[in-house]
Amino acid sequence: MRTLITGGGGFIGSHLCERFLAEGHSVICVDNFITGTLSNLDGFRNDPRFSFVGHDISHPLQIRGPIDNVLHFASPASPVDYLNYPIQTLKVGSLGTHNTLGLAKAKGARYLVASTSEVYGDPEVHPQREDYWGHVNPVGVRGVYDEAKRFSEAMVMAYYRTHNVNTHIVRIFNTYGERMRLDDGRVLPNFMGQALRGDPLTIYGDGSQTRSFCYVSDLVEGIFRLLFTDHHDPVNLGNPEEVTILEFAQEIRAMSGSASTIAYKPLPADDPKIRKPDISKARQLLGWEPKVNRHEGLARTLRYFQEKVASEQTRKIAKGA
């Protein structure tokens, strides 16, 4: 099979490229590196079945030859990124989704879009089920991401209903693992970077808000299974093991052996107070549930960030010399 992945230079996208190559596919990675990095492709970019196209998918893309699968994962995904690139975030969720759906339609390809738990906003239903419509502030600072994803879901369903494109929607909950950026702005790289540098761990609010963290290999497995089903409605993928942000900070601090203190700052506007997926549908439809427990996944990720921080410190020393 020949599979095209937009955002393939990003955190999750690069793991998808690797997985599809491992499954014997030829992979076309499309990225403009607004938030992704070329180094994420180092492990496989010399594979003859891998090709890279530097392109902003908010503009139409022409690809020669057949394509069997189109996965649309291009988008800034952390608050730091989509607040820095609000218009680009809206465009890649709208125009980018339109362009990739058009490509899938023209090629007769399967299609899967990366949606997000953020479509549920600051939820009033817990845990979050796929039939919950969400509680989103469309004009708040986070609205550029939330509404881009909600719009993308609506367009995907329109292409399924109108053009019979074989579409799929995955709603991704907090995911972590190797290839996250230290400056990503999300809670895990923030905590690990701060702990490894000996800086205070920054908690926004009182730390009682909850998240549920899924290791990236588990997410990729769920995505791969979903793509090859005949199910077209959204499916949650995430780890239902819920933890408070304060507990999470203490866990990372202990694991890293850091003496960092904890610093409290005001909670950002519209920050969700709870987040936990109901994965009943994924269990029933895909036979899927997370396999990597949080301690194991965090240990793997910590080793990755230890290397990143060590390289960062070496560069600073060399620059100072």
**80 φ, ψ (degrees, to nearest 5):** -60, -45
8 Å CB contact between 61 and 99: yes
- Cβ atoms of 128 and 276 within 8 Å: the answer is yes
For residue 138, cis peptide bond before it (omega within 30 degrees of 0): no
- For residue 145, indicate whether it is catalytic: yes
51: enclosing H helix or E strand = strand 50-54
Report DSSP letters for 181-226, one per residue.
-TT--SHHHHHHHHHHHTPPEEEETTS--EEE-EEHHHHHHHHHHH
Fill in the amino acid letter for 308: K
User: Which residue type occupies 222?
Assistant: G
Catalytic residue among 82, 85, 120, 145: 145
DSSP 236: E
Cα(101)–Cα(185) distance, integer angstroms: 30
Q: Which residue has the tokens 């995907």?
A: 156
In angstroms, the CA 92 to CA 205 distance is 31
Round to whole Å and give the CA distance between 223 and 154: 19
Cα–Cα dist 36/13, whole Å:
9
3-state secondary structure 117-157: HHHHECCCCCCECCCCCCECCCCCCCHHHHHHHHHHHHHHH
* Catalytic residue annotation: 145
